[in-house]
Structure 1
Amino acid sequence: MKIVEQSGKETGQGRGRALWAAVAVIAIAAAGVVGGKIALKSKVNELVAERGGKAGAVEVDFLGRIHLRDVTLPLGGRSNARIAAIDGRPKILFLNGTLEMTGLDIELPTARILVPHASVEDANLDPATLTELISRKSAAPLAKRIDRFAAKRVSATEVAITQAIAGSEQKTVYRQVNLTDIANGSVARYSADGASFEFAMAIPDGAGGSKQEVMTGSIGQMTGQDFDAAYMARLYTEKAGPDDKEPRPLYGPLSAKAIAFSNGQARFAYDEMRSSGFSMRMPAEPLLETLEKLTSVTNPEELEPEERRAFFGRLLSLADIIGKGDMEMLGLKIDAPAKAGEAEGEKVKLAVDRMALQLDGRRLDAALHGVSMGEGGDYVKFSEASMTGFSWDSTLEALKKMAGLDEQQLETFPFTTLLPEFGTFRVAGIDVNLPNPDTGADSTGTEGYADETGETDALAAEGLMPDAEQEAGADQQTNQPVTSMEKPAAAVPERIRFTLKNYELALTKPFNGIPTDIRFSYEDLSVPVPAKAQDETSVQLRKLGFDELVVSSNIQAAWDEPSQNLAIKDISVSGKDVGSFSVSGLMGGFTKDFFSGDPAMAQVALLGLTAREMKLEIEDKGGMAKGIKFYADQNGMTEDQARGMLTMMAAAVLQQLAADQPKLQGPVDALSRFIAKPGTFTLTVRSKAETGIGAFDLIAASENPMLLLDKVDLEATAQ
C-alpha cells in the first residue's frame, strides 16, 4: 500500500513539473514573440528610413505579420513609389512569406504605374533576404538581388501604365496579371487576361500633312514563358565579362491574341502575335550608361572628332547586343476609308494571313503570306513576298570607320561600303486588277479599252458630242478637217490586268558594298489581250492567236575574284507557245576596280575586258508556226506554201553568206535545218586565245563582225 501511495505521489509531482515546464516554454516563447515582434518592427522601420522613405504607420502583430500604411519610397532621380497599405508575413521556420499591397503608385520621369492591388505568395521573404533585396548597404548588384528572390506567384488585378512619348500620352491597362514560379531570377510563366490601350499618333490628313488621331484598342489573352529578369537587370546595369561572348535567352515563347485598335474611321486587327523567344548579348558598357550618354548629346555634329567617334560607336553598339529572335503576326486586317476623313463610303481593305520576322545578329529574314489589298473591284494580291539573307553587317562596319573621319578624309571614303547585303527578294502569286490612270476607268473590272483622254463618252452623255452621221455631214458641208477633240483618241486599256507566278531579285556576295552575284528573274508574267483591243499591238497578237501573253525572263551573273572572270550564266526570255532565246558567256579581265565605287576607275577597267566564250540558244515551241500562219493569212497562201517559200528564201540568203565566208558553213547548215524543222538551235563561239578577245577588237567588230572570224572557233547544232 505504501508503495502504491508513494508511486501516486511521484506521478502527481511529475505531472506538476511537466505542467510548470509547459508554462515556462509558453512564457519563453511569448517573450520571444514579443522580442521578435519588436526586432522585426525595428528592422522594417530601419529599412524604410534607410531608403529615404516614410511610413505613416508600422505595426507587427503577435503572429509576425507586418502592417504598413501610407508608405513613400524614393527610387532614385525623379522617381518614387507610394503605397497605401502593405500587409505581409516574412518567412518564419516552415512558413513561406506572403505580401499584399494596395494602392501602389510609381512615378517615373516619363511614366506612371498604378496597381490597385497586388499579392506575393509563398515567397522567401526572410529578414536576411529582405535586407539584401531592399537595403542600400547590400553589396550585391541588382541582378544578384533579383536572382535571390523566389515566389510561387506574384499577381495583380490590374496594372495601368501611362507614358509620355513624343509629346503625347499613351495609356495601357493590363487585367489579371500573373507571374508564376519565380526562382533564380527567372519567371517560368507569366500571363494577363487582356489589356486595353489608348494613344495618339500622326496620320495623313489628305492634304500632304498629318494630324493627331487618338487610337483606342484592346488585346486578348497574353502568355509567356522563361523571362530572365536577372539577365535583363544585368543588361542595363553591368558590362560584359569574359564569359559573356554569346547571346543568352531573355524571353522564351510568348503570345498575344485578338489585338485590335481603331481611330473611329480605320480599324486594324491581328488574330495573334507570337514569338518563340529572343536572346541578347551583354553590352560592352551598361545599357543605362550608354542611353544616358546618348541622350546627353543634342547635336552630334558639334562634337570633337574623338567624341563624335565615341558617340556613334555607342549608337552602333546597340545593334550588336541583338542575338536571335523571331516574331509572327497572324490574321492582319485593316479597314480604312478610301478618302481621308470619311468614316462612311468605300473602304480600302488590307488582309495578310501571316507576317514573319527572324533576326540573327545583323541578319534579317522577313516574309508576308496571303496578302490582299483593294477597294471595291480594284485589288492587288500576292501569295508570298519574302526577303532572305539581308544583312547590315557591312553597313555597320563602314559607319564605324566613317564616324571619326574629318571632311578631307570623307572625300575619299568609299561610300559604296555603306550598302547592306540585300540578299534575295521574292514575290509569288501576284494578281493585279486596277483601273488605268490614263483612262480614269471605274472599278467595274470590265475588260476593254477606252479613249485616251476619257472625254468622248462624257461629252456624248452631256449632248456636247455629235453622233457619227452629224459629224460626217458637218465635215462635208464645211470641208473642214475633224479636230483632235472630235477624233477618237488612240485606244488604251481601261484596266491594268496581269498575273505573275514568281518574281525574284538576288543581290549577294558584296565586294565594297557592290553585289558580285546577281539574279533577276520573273516567271509566267501573263497579260490578257482583250477581244475589243484597238491598238495595233493587241490587234496583231489576236491575229497570231494570243488571248493572253505569257512571258518569262532571267538574268544571272557572278564574279569570280581569283580568276577575275565574270560568268554570264544566263540572259534569257521565253514565251508560252512561242519559244525561248538565251545567251550565256564568260568575260575575262574583270578586276576589282569595277567594284571600287570610283566611276573613273571603272571606265578604265572596261578597256581591260576580254570576251572568252559566248553561247546562243534558240528553242522553238510554236512561235514559228504561228508566224507562218500569220504570214499565210496576210498573203492569201496556205501554211505549207508560206513555210516552203520562207524556208527557201532563208536558205538562199544563208548559203550566199557561207559562200562569202566558208568558216560559217557549219553554223549556216545548222541554222538551215532549224528553219526547215524548228526545234533547238545552239551556237557556241570561243576565243582561240586563252586570254580572250580584247576590248579594242570588240569595238572594231561592232562595225564589221566578220573581222572576228579568224579569232574564234564556231560550233553549231540543230535538234
Structure 2
Amino acid sequence: MSKNLIARRRARALAAACMISVALPATAGLAKEKVKTDQTAQVDVAMDYAVSIPTIDAVGSNLDNAVLADILSGKVVENADALANLDATSITVPEIVIDVSSQSGSTSNQTKLTITGLTLEDVVDGRAAKISLAGVALAEDDAKANFGAMSAANLDIAGILGIYGLVDTAGQTELRTIYTDLVSQGGTIESKEVNCRVGEVTGAQFKARPLKTSLVDMIAVAQAMEEEGDDASPETVGKFLKMYADILTAFETSEVRFNGMACDGFDDEDRAMTFSIAGLTMGGMSPGIYPAISMDGFAINVEDDGSFILDNLTIKQMDLSGTIATLQSAPDVVDEAWFEQNARALIPAMDGLSLSGLDMDIPDPDTAGARIQAKVGAFDLTLASYLNGIPTAVDVSAANIQAEIPAESGDETFDQLRALGITNVDAGFRIAAAWDEASETIAVEEVSVSGVDLASVLLAGTVTNATKDIFAVDPHAAMMASMDLAVRNLDLTVTDAGLSDIILAVVAAEQGADPATLRPVFAGLAQGTVIGMMAGAADAAKLGDAINSFVAGSAKTLMIGIEAKTEPGLGMMDFMAAEDDPTTLLTKVNISAEAK
C-alpha cells in the first residue's frame, strides 16, 4: 500500500474524528488498515470498522440523506466543501453505531460505539445554533462506558474544517469562535477490575484559527516521525517543530471545569481500592500560554495497604512564547547540534506549582515491613523573570511537614534528635531570592528552617557582582561569572521556641542537675567562647552579651548582622582563606547583635 493511499485513508478517518471531537467530547473514526502498535516488537494489528446509520431526519437541508450519511460515516474530506456550506432547519440522527474489530496475532477484540440522539439545529452556511447528543455508549469485550447528554452552541462546522485545511478559509489568520456553552453530563465506566462515576464537564468557549499545515501534511509528518523513530531525519524533525510551534498558537479556550470522578475496584493483588478526584479546573488557554491546572480532592486508598490523599495540586501557568519563538526560528534541517545550542531557549517559563493537604501512609519499597508516613500542610514553588531558560526570581516554601523521625537511620541529625527524645517533627522552610539586573545584585530575602515547638533559623542578605553572565548559555562564562560573586551583608535571626529547654533537660538528667542552674553556666561559656574567638574585636563585647541573654533564656530571639567593610563584599578568595582560619574574616566585616 503506498504512503499516499495510507495518508488519504488516515485523513478521512482523522478528519471525522477531529470534527466530532472538537465539537463535542465524542469520537468515531478508525482507518481500515494495519497499524504497528510497537516499533520494537513490530506487532501488526489489523483493524476494521463499520458504521451503521439506520435513519436521518433532515428538515430544510441542502444536502440529501445519502451525503449526510457519507459524512457521518467518515467521508469528511470528500464532502468538506458541501459540509462547510450546510444549511438545515434541523438534522436529527437517532442512532449511529460504529463497530470496530481488531486482530493482533491470535487475539481479537470487538468494540461497539453507539451515539444516540445527534441533533443539529438552525444550520446556516456551516454554522449550527446548537448541537447535542442524547448519549454515548461504548462496549468492549470486558468493559463498557455510558455517558449522558452533551451539547454546545454556535458550532462553526466550516471553522472546524478550516482549522485542518479541508476548506478554503480565504487567508484567515485571526482566532474565531468554534463553539460556546459546552456541557457534558458525565457518566459511568465499568470493567471487571474497576467501576467509575465520571462528573460533568463544562466550558464557555473555544476559539481557533486555521493551521498552517494541512491535515494531510500533518498526518504525513506524524507518520514519518513514527516510522523513523529515534533516527528521524533532520528534515522530518524540522517540519515537525514548525508544525508544533504553529499548533501552540492556534487555539484559545475559556476556563474548563470537570466535576471529578470516583472509582472503586481491585488492584493487581485483588485488594479492594478506591480512587477519586473531587474536581479539576483548567484555566483559559491563549496562544503561547498554557493555563494553570488545579486538581482538588485527590485520594487513593488500598485496603490493608495504604492511602495517599492530596487536598489540592496546582500546576501553575506556563509561558511558551520563548519556546515558540525558538521553534519558529528553527531551520528546515534540524540536527542534534541545533538542539544542543538551543536547549535552554526551548525551556518554557513555568510559574511553578503548589500543593496542600498531603497525607500519605504507604509501604516503603526499599525496606520490607517499613512504611512511609508523612503529612505536608502546604508547599509552594513560584518561579518568575526567566533569562535564558533560568528563573531569576525563586520562592519555594513548605509548612507543616509532619513526619516520624526514623530510628537507626544512620543520619547524624536524625540520631541527635531522637537522642533528645524528639521522635516526630512539624517543620517548615522557605527559600526566596531575586536577581536585579540594574544593580547586579541578588536579594536573598529569606533562607529559613523552622520546627514547631523547637526553633527557627532565618538568613537574609545581599549578593553582589551578579552580572547577567551568571545566567549565560555558555557554561564556561556562567562559571567564571559565578566565581566573581561576593556577599555584601548577612542577617541571621534565631528564635528559640522550646528546643533549648529540651536540650537542657536531657543534659541536666545526665548530670543529675537542675536545668535552671545549667542555663547561666552555658550562657557564660558561650559568651566567653565568642569573645575569645573574636580576639578583641570592637564588636566582641556586644555580640557576647547578646548570646549570653539568648542562651540564658532571658531573650528568645537572637539577631546577628554581618556587613562587609568594603565593596563589593566578601568574595570567594575571602571564604577560601577562612576555611583554614575563620578569624581572617573578622577584620573585613562589621558585626551587630541584638537579643530580645
TM-score range for the pair, normalised by the shorter chain length: 0.7 to 0.9
Which of 273, 279, 283 pairs up with 1:348?
A: 273
- Shift, 1:418, TM fit: 2.4
- The verdict on how the C-alpha distance between 1:651 and 1:166 changes in structure 2, with shifts beyond 3 A counting, is farther
SS at match of 1:284: coil
Question: C-alpha distance in 1, partners of 2:151/2:576?
Answer: 69
SS at match of 2:211: coil
**Which deviates more from structure 2 when the two are superposed, residues 572-581 or residues 695-704?**
695-704
1:588 equivalent in alignment to 2:447: no
Question: C-alpha distance in 1, partners of 2:438/2:274?
Answer: 52
Q: Gapped runs of 5+ residues in structure 2?
A: 1-7, 13-27, 34-48, 72-77
- The verdict on how the C-alpha distance between 1:409 and 1:239 changes in structure 2, with shifts beyond 3 A counting, is farther
Amino acid aligned to 2:179: Y
Partner of 1:384: 312
Partner of 1:180: 121
Q: 1:238–1:286: 8 Å Cα contact kept in structure 2? A: no
Q: 1:150–1:184: 8 Å Cα contact kept in structure 2? A: yes
1:313 equivalent in alignment to 2:242: yes
Per-residue CA deviations over 1:87-136 (Å, capped at 9, x if unaligned) read xxxxxxxxxxxxxxxxxx99976764321112123x26599xx9xxx9xx
- The verdict on how the C-alpha distance between 1:306 and 1:629 changes in structure 2, with shifts beyond 3 A counting, is closer
- The verdict on how the C-alpha distance between 1:375 and 1:656 changes in structure 2, with shifts beyond 3 A counting, is same
- Shift, 1:184, TM fit: 4.8
**Which one scores higher on RCO, CA 8 angstroms, separation ≥ 6?**
2
Counterparts in 2 of 1:542-561, with a 5 A limit?
546=422, 548-561=424-437
Amino acid aligned to 1:232: I
Partner of 2:592: 715
Per-residue CA deviations over 1:286-327 (Å, capped at 9, x if unaligned) read 445544565477549989866753453134322221222443
Question: C-alpha distance in 2, partners of 1:399/1:126?
Answer: 42
1:153 equivalent in alignment to 2:90: yes
- The verdict on how the C-alpha distance between 1:692 and 1:313 changes in structure 2, with shifts beyond 3 A counting, is same
Q: 1:312–1:403: 8 Å Cα contact kept in structure 2? A: no
Q: 1:516–1:559: 8 Å Cα contact kept in structure 2? A: yes
Q: CA RMSD in A?
A: 3.7
- Shift, 1:257, TM fit: 2.5
Q: 1:223–1:254: 8 Å Cα contact kept in structure 2? A: yes
Per-residue CA deviations over 1:2-43 (Å, capped at 9, x if unaligned) read xxxxxxxxxxxxxxxxxxxxxxxxxxxxxxxxxxxxxxxxxx
SS at match of 2:435: strand
Counterparts in 2 of 1:157-168, with a 5 A limit?
157-162=94-99
Which of 349, 352, 355 pairs up with 1:424?
A: 352
Per-residue CA deviations over 1:242-283 (Å, capped at 9, x if unaligned) read 6633x2221212222243223422334312233223221232
Partner of 2:43: none
Partner of 2:546: 670
- The verdict on how the C-alpha distance between 1:404 and 1:565 changes in structure 2, with shifts beyond 3 A counting, is farther
Amino acid aligned to 1:355: L
SS at match of 1:590: coil
1:679 equivalent in alignment to 2:556: yes
Counterparts in 2 of 1:216-295, with a 5 A limit?
216-236=144-164, 237-238=166-167, 244-245=173-174, 247-288=175-216, 290-291=218-219, 295=223
- Shift, 1:579, TM fit: 2.0
Per-residue CA deviations over 1:415-454 (Å, capped at 9, x if unaligned) read 222222232111100111123445533xxxxxxxxxxxxx
Question: C-alpha distance in 2, partners of 1:338/1:540?
Answer: 40
SS at match of 1:413: helix
Amino acid aligned to 2:560: L
Amino acid aligned to 1:590: A
Q: Gapped runs of 5+ residues in structure 1?
A: 1-75, 81-104, 135-140, 200-212, 442-493
TM-score by length of 1: 0.66
Question: C-alpha distance in 1, partners of 2:586/2:565?
Answer: 10
Give the share of equivalent positions with the same residue, in percent: 21
- Shift, 1:539, TM fit: 8.9
Q: 2:116–2:135: 8 Å Cα contact kept in structure 1? A: yes
Amino acid aligned to 2:281: A
Q: 1:499–1:527: 8 Å Cα contact kept in structure 2? A: yes
Which of 49, 53, 56 pairs up with 1:115?
A: 53
- The verdict on how the C-alpha distance between 1:166 and 1:506 changes in structure 2, with shifts beyond 3 A counting, is farther
- The verdict on how the C-alpha distance between 1:652 and 1:694 changes in structure 2, with shifts beyond 3 A counting, is closer
- Shift, 1:542, TM fit: 7.0
- The verdict on how the C-alpha distance between 1:402 and 1:595 changes in structure 2, with shifts beyond 3 A counting, is farther
Question: C-alpha distance in 2, partners of 1:572/1:181?
Answer: 63
TM-score by length of 2: 0.79
1:328 equivalent in alignment to 2:243: no
- Shift, 1:597, TM fit: 3.9
1:360 equivalent in alignment to 2:286: yes
Question: C-alpha distance in 1, partners of 2:559/2:573?
Answer: 27
Q: 1:389–1:422: 8 Å Cα contact kept in structure 2? A: yes
- The verdict on how the C-alpha distance between 1:329 and 1:376 changes in structure 2, with shifts beyond 3 A counting, is same
Question: C-alpha distance in 1, partners of 2:339/2:245?
Answer: 22
**Which deviates more from structure 2 when the two are superposed, residues 585-594 or residues 166-175?**
166-175
- Shift, 1:549, TM fit: 1.2
Amino acid aligned to 1:347: A
- The verdict on how the C-alpha distance between 1:400 and 1:548 changes in structure 2, with shifts beyond 3 A counting, is same
Which of 627, 646, 656 pairs up with 2:522?
A: 646
SS at match of 2:555: coil
Q: 2:234–2:335: 8 Å Cα contact kept in structure 1? A: no
- The verdict on how the C-alpha distance between 1:388 and 1:617 changes in structure 2, with shifts beyond 3 A counting, is same
Q: 1:301–1:308: 8 Å Cα contact kept in structure 2? A: no
- Shift, 1:585, TM fit: 1.5
Amino acid aligned to 1:666: K
Question: C-alpha distance in 2, partners of 1:387/1:560?
Answer: 26
Partner of 1:191: 132
Partner of 1:14: none
Question: C-alpha distance in 2, partners of 1:274/1:370?
Answer: 19
SS at match of 2:428: strand
Question: C-alpha distance in 1, partners of 2:113/2:531?
Answer: 84
Question: C-alpha distance in 2, partners of 1:440/1:242?
Answer: 65
SS at match of 1:697: helix
Per-residue CA deviations over 1:571-591 (Å, capped at 9, x if unaligned) read 110010112101111112223
Amino acid aligned to 2:188: A
Per-residue CA deviations over 1:619-656 (Å, capped at 9, x if unaligned) read 12222222222222222222221222222322332343
Q: 1:115–1:158: 8 Å Cα contact kept in structure 2? A: yes
Amino acid aligned to 2:162: R
Question: C-alpha distance in 1, partners of 2:320/2:582?
Answer: 46
Partner of 2:446: 570
SS at match of 1:172: strand
SS at match of 1:646: helix
Partner of 1:505: 381
Question: C-alpha distance in 2, partners of 1:260/1:655?
Answer: 74
Q: 2:152–2:181: 8 Å Cα contact kept in structure 1? A: yes
Amino acid aligned to 1:318: I
Counterparts in 2 of 1:381-420, with a 5 A limit?
381-402=309-330, 404=332, 409-410=337-338, 413-420=341-348
Question: C-alpha distance in 2, partners of 1:560/1:599?
Answer: 21
Larger Rg: 1
Amino acid aligned to 2:286: D
Amino acid aligned to 1:161: I
Question: C-alpha distance in 2, partners of 1:552/1:107?
Answer: 53
Per-residue CA deviations over 1:146-199 (Å, capped at 9, x if unaligned) read 575443322111012356899877542111222223335322222222221135
SS at match of 1:691: coil
SS at match of 2:246: helix
